[in-house]
C-alpha cells in the first residue's frame, strides 16, 4: 500500500516538472509508471541472482531500490530538458530601433 502511495506521489511530482518544462504531462507520468515497474522487475531479478532463492523478504528491498532508480532516471532525463519559455519577445519579428 505504501508503494502505491509513493508511486502516486512520484507521478504527481513528475507531472509538475513536465508542466514546468512545457512537456506533455500525461506521457511523462506514464513513463514514470513504466520506469517504476521496470525498475522493480530488474531489482527482483538482481535479488534472485544475488541471493539464489525466491524469498520475498530478500527481494523487496532490491525491488524498491530498482523502482526508485527507475524514477530517478526518468526525473533526470526530464530535468535536463530546457524550461518552457514564457518570454513573449520574438527576435525574428523585432523591428530595429
Rounded mean pLDDT of the chain?
Answer: 87
Report the pLDDT averaged over residues 3-22: 93
Q: Where are the domains of the chain?
A: 2-79
pLDDT for res 83: 85
| 67 against 94, higher pLDDT | 67
| Confidence band of 95 (pLDDT split at 50, 70, 90) | low
- From the number of C-beta atoms within 10 Å of its C-beta (0-12, 13-18, 19+), residue 41 rates as middle
Q: Give tens-digit pLDDT for 27-60.
A: 999 999 999 999 999 999 998 888 887 778 878 9
Amino acid at each position: 500500500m505504501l508503494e502505491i502511495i509513493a508511486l502516486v506521489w512520484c507521478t504527481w511530482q513528475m507531472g509538475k516538472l513536465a508542466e514546468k518544462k512545457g512537456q506533455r504531462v500525461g506521457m511523462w507520468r506514464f513513463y514514470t509508471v513504466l520506469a517504476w515497474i521496470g525498475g522493480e522487475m530488474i531489482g527482483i531479478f538482481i535479488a534472485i541472482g544475488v541471493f539464489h532463492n525466491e524469498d520475498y523478504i530478500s527481494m523487496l528491498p532490491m525491488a524498491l531500490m530498482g523502482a526508485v532508480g527507475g524514477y530517478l532516471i526518468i526525473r533526470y532525463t526530464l530535468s535536463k530538458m530546457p524550461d518552457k519559455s514564457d518570454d513573449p519577445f520574438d527576435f525574428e519579428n523585432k523591428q530595429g530601433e
